[in-house]
């Protein structure tokens, strides 16, 4: 595994998405949805809330992280209030959509 995106919604709801399993990322307004292949090849998704008008910047940064880095990258951690720039929350995690 080269890298992974980490999202923590609560002490019982969190996910580390391996970069090589990400299928596509969609930005709509203040929501970014990260779609990925789960272990059983079913599609899962994770949503984050972004600052209005900053979705393109977050999308570009996610692309950079996935192509230029290694290791785990915290996108959003609602438990510890730690977020990448222009991200304000985990809006939901669906392991198998």
Q: What is the pLDDT of residues 46-81, one digit of tens each?
A: 999 999 999 999 999 999 999 999 999 999 999 999
Distance CA 29, CA 67 (A): 24
Indicate the number of domains in the chain: 1
Q: Please give the residue that has the higher pLDDT: either 29 or 97.
A: 29
Q: Are 89 and 77 in contact (CB under 8 A)?
A: no
pTM equals: 0.91
The boundaries of the domain holding residue 87 are 3-94
Q: What's the pLDDT at 97?
A: 54
Residue among 19, 35, 15 at smallest CA distance from 27? 35
Distance CA 39, CA 34 (A): 16
Q: Are 22 and 65 in contact (CB under 8 A)?
A: no
Q: pLDDT (tens digit, 9 = 90+) per residue, 1-49?
A: 589 999 999 999 999 999 999 999 999 999 999 999 977 778 999 999 9
């Amino acid at each position: 595994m080269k890298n992974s995106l980490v999202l923590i919604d609560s002490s019982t709801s969190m996910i580390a998405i391996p970069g090589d399993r990400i299928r596509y990322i969609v930005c709509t307004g203040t929501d970014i949805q990260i779609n990925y292949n789960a272990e059983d090849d079913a599609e899962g998704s994770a949503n984050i809330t972004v600052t209005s008008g900053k979705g393109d910047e977050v999308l570009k940064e996610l692309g950079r992280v996935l192509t230029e880095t290694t290791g785990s990258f915290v996108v959003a951690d609602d438990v510890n209030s730690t977020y990448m720039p222009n991200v304000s929350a985990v809006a939901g995690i669906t392991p198998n959509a």
